[in-house]
Chain A
Amino acid sequence: MKKVYANATEALDGVITDGMMIAAGGFGLCGIPELLLEAIKDSGAQNLTFASNNAGVDDFGIGILLQTKQVKKMISSYVGENAEFMRQYLSGELELEFNPQGTLAERMRAGGAGIPGFYTKTGVGTVIAEGKEHKDFSGETYILEEGIFADLAIVKAWKADDTGNLIFRKTARNFNVPAATCGKICIAEVEEIVPRGSLDPDAIHLPGIYVHRIIQGEHEKRIEQRTTRKKEEA
């Protein structure tokens, strides 16, 4: 089956619909599926729910879908870098479900692994635990968190082969792996599609079984906090 598509718009064709839940990879602006987000904006799909650690910035990442009011709800751990997000949230236009970062990652991983729920100590005794089942194991209290089963996963990788085997680069791997696994359909955008056989099978970060469609494209890869040191300090 052919997995390689010409561009993000074609890869979304027949997949993107109003009201769907999308799991997106990325941490801050690092490793975000920027081309697919742009194409989702162009698709005009409405009332989207995003499970994504962050919400981008005003003019990049998921932020561009907030500008066009295509997002109904965010499931995130940290949304501090986005003024439009705050405006919509405070005015009640946008729903927000805060998840601790590790709980969000594990909810995606669990969903992708067919696990509907798991117990964690994270958030016990905090607002996160309110309304959730509590259970004691060996004298410690845990809360029940549910796996995320997304309609669509969009991720960004460094390299793919045409069967969808993915390799990520440095800390751009982040949420891309768990997000990819929890989608009914996963679309991956990559910097380079390489011929079958040119990736080391022992070095695949995400096997192609999880990846249904692939596109190659140019990435801006914006830096959020540029921090450096001077040569003299070395």
Chain B
Amino acid sequence: MPWDRNQMAARAAQELEDGMYVNLGIGIPTLVANYVGDKDITLQSENGMLGMGPFPFEGEEDPDLINAGKQTITELSRTAYFDSATSFAMIRGGKIAAAVLGAMEVDEEGDLANWMIPGVLVKGMGGAMDLVAGVGRVIVVMDHTNKHGKSKLLKKCTLPLTGKKVVNRIITNLGVLDVVEGGLKIIEIAEGVTEDEIRAATEANIVN
């Protein structure tokens, strides 16, 4: 059985080490926070916060306290607030150890596309380009194939890029792959999935 959303998030949480400052993207990456266990992880929200807490209880929402997805959230005892220039200075300056984010396409060189589909309404890249260019490690969490069954792990991205040679590790519903010299390397296979299935679902070159 391929991993479901929560299993993918749980696998991504294993990538995070005690003491890390981490930025989680929208979607499955947000779920990663549920699986960090006892590890001392500080979540950054790029609109200007370190130490992001869970959603507030009903009736306790604060319009001055939101995350980068514009959702109401809470603060923790460790929380610090700062302005957007300071926030991206810590991102661009390499202080954030890792970003976990979703993607439309990743290719065998580590190029990432996740902000724009030509001909479809363009909303903007937000902070994604800054994050992938600046953080220590970029971990992509996404389904291995799109809704048409086509591989999202390509030889060359077809969509406009968010960043070039930026992805380090890809966690999909089928397993875990690293971007290495010459292509992608299978690091782990989801229980009940075969290596042949991963290879069949991957357009990118797989190196041994």
Please give the residue numbers on chain A whose beta carbons come within 8 Å of chain B beta carbons, in ascending order: 27-31, 53, 76-81, 86, 98, 100-103, 105-106, 108-109, 120-128, 158, 168-178, 205, 221-231, 234
Residues of A within 8 A of B88 (CB): 101-103, 105-106
- Judged by a CB distance under 8 angstroms, whether B92 is at the interface is yes
Tally of A-B residue pairs with Cβ under 8 A?
184
Contacts of A175 in B (CB 8 A): 83-84
Q: Answer whether A221 and B63 are a contact pair too, CB < 8 Å, given A101-B130, A231-B57.
A: yes
Tell yes or no: B85 within 8 A of A by CB.
yes
Q: Do residues A77 and B72 form an inter-chain contact, with CB atoms below 8 A?
A: no
Asked whether A120 lies within 8 Å of B61 as measured between CB atoms, the reply is no
When chains A and B are docked, how far (Å) is the Cα of A124 from the Cα of B70?
A: 27
Q: How far is the CA of A126 from the CA of B133 in the complex (A)?
A: 11
B71 touches A171 (CB 8 A): no
Contacts of A79 in B (CB 8 A): 123-124
Q: Report B's interface with A, CB cutoff 8 A.
A: 45-49, 54-67, 69-73, 75, 81-89, 91-92, 111, 121-130, 133-134, 160-165
Report A-chain residues with C-beta under 8 Å of the C-beta of B129. 100, 102-103, 122-123, 126, 128
B64's partner among A80, A123, A169 (CB-CB below 8 A) is A169
Cβ B58 vs Cβ A77 within 8 A:
no
Evaluate contact between B127 and A177: CB separation under 8 angstroms: no
Residues of A within 8 A of B85 (CB): 105-106, 108-109, 177-178
A228 touches B47 (CB 8 A): no
